[in-house]
């Protein structure tokens, strides 16, 4: 779906869109709130935690596993595969991406066959059974769609939460403002997406005709990578692009892409983040960075995310 144009893209998108409408996602809210509360409870007897490992990571992973119908006990495997797929391979390092991709495709092909023989109340089963005027997804399309939804459905939201919490902790006056008025959380999430979003680069695009950017002309038929993080810091679009401003409207950010390829999971990501930040501000209002925090980032051109986020809860 990411790499196709209409009419192929239109067909694939139509078959998956119904699961990610705002109305459908709203039905998931009670369960997301329950998972969030459970994770925050589990941290309560400690003074210091790694917020990535203990909260930002397991929340979206649990949600996407339950939504797709992926056994939660398999999460460590597909998280390891995902990390390998988005990591930049340095000179002299072993490229683990082909093996990770093959392992994940094999796993999902087996899972698709399970859903075909015994459909359940989950999204992957819905995709197996999805029928649009006699059109259904092929086995290869089902595996590809599951691959996309599983990877994009957790890795991006994990880092939306992690990057957003870090931005707030570095701007404590805005943490305090949201703590005093949690109704500002949805707007703040849009600013987190703009200021330090979880995706650096869009997937590859091609120029259908020559395009001029500044003093450079890109010929037709060239591969183009769009830097979403740079677009979201464009001074021609945002008055103070390098300043976090959770109380300022950020309409027009490109964190979810644009046009027909706008992120299908955006409603789910927004609801998960809203619940996560609202609950975190309420439960641990005095959260701070741990004094010994040594922040390290993933080595990836695609994903912008922390490896860990040590925090003091009180």
Q: How many CB atoms lie within 10 A of CB 142?
A: 23
What interhelical angle do 139-169 and 75-86 show, nearest 10?
80
Average confidence (pLDDT) over 161-180: 97
Average confidence (pLDDT) over 40-64: 95
Task: State the pLDDT confidence band at 151, using cuts at 50, 70 and 90.
Answer: confident
Average confidence (pLDDT) over 164-168: 97
On whether the CB atoms of residues 194 and 232 are closer than 8 A, the answer is yes
What pLDDT score was predicted for residue 221? Answer: 96
pLDDT beyond 90 at 284: yes
What pLDDT score was predicted for residue 172? Answer: 95
Q: What is the pLDDT of residues 10-43, one digit of tens each?
A: 988 988 887 777 888 888 999 999 999 999 999 9
Average confidence (pLDDT) over 195-217: 93
- Helix (H/G/I), strand (E/B), else coil: 311: strand
Of the chain, the end-to-end C-alpha distance in Å amounts to: 45
Residues ≥6 apart with Cβ < 8 Å to 218: 207, 210, 211, 212, 224
On whether the CB atoms of residues 142 and 128 are closer than 8 A, the answer is yes
What pLDDT score was predicted for residue 88? Answer: 82
Chain Cα centroid distance, residue 160: 7
What pLDDT score was predicted for residue 94? Answer: 86
Pairing of strands 223-224, 205-206: antiparallel
Q: What is the pLDDT of residues 60-109, one digit of tens each?
A: 999 998 988 988 888 888 888 888 888 888 778 888 989 999 999 999 99
More confident residue, 290 or 84: 290
What pLDDT score was predicted for residue 293? Answer: 80
Highest mean pLDDT among 63-67, 218-222, 290-294 belongs to 218-222
Residues ≥6 apart with Cβ < 8 Å to 122: 66, 67, 68, 69, 115
Task: State the pLDDT confidence band at 218, using cuts at 50, 70 and 90.
Answer: very high
What pLDDT score was predicted for residue 269? Answer: 95
């Amino acid at each position: 779906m990411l790499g196709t144009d209409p009419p192929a893209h239109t067909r694939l998108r139509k078959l998956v869109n119904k699961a990610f409408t705002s109305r459908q996602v709203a039905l998931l809210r009670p369960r997301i709130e329950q998972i969030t509360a459970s994770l925050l409870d589990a941290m309560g007897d400690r003074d210091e935690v790694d917020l990535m490992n203990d909260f930002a990571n397991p929340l979206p992973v649990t949600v996407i596993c339950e939504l797709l119908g992926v056994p939660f006990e398999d999460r460590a495997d597909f998280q390891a595969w995902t990390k390998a797929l988005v990591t930049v391979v340095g000179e002299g390092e072993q490229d683990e991406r082909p093996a990770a991709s093959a392992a994940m495709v094999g796993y999902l092909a087996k899972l698709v066959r399970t859903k075909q023989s015994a459909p359940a109340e989950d999204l992957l089963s819905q995709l197996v059974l999805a029928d649009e005027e006699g059109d259904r997804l092929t086995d290869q399309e089902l595996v590809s769609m599951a691959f996309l939804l599983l990877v994009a459905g957790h890795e991006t939201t994990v880092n939306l939460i992690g990057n957003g919490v870090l931005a707030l902790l570095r701007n404590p006056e805005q943490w305090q403002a949201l703590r005093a008025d949690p109704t500002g959380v949805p707007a703040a999430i849009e600013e987190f997406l703009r200021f330090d979003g979880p995706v650096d680069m869009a997937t590859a695009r091609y120029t259908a005709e020559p395009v001029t950017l500044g003093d450079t002309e890109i010929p037709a038929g060239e591969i183009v990578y769009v830097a979403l993080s740079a677009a979201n810091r464009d001074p021609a679009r945002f008055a103070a692009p390098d300043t976090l401003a959770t109380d300022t409207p950020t309409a027009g950010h490109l964190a979810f892409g644009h046009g027909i390829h706008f992120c299908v999971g955006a409603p789910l990501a927004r609801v998960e983040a809203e619940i996560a930040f609202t609950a975190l501000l309420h439960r641990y209002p005095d959260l701070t960075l741990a004094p010994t925090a040594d922040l390290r980032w993933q080595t990836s051109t695609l994903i912008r995310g922390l490896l860990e986020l040590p925090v003091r809860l009180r």
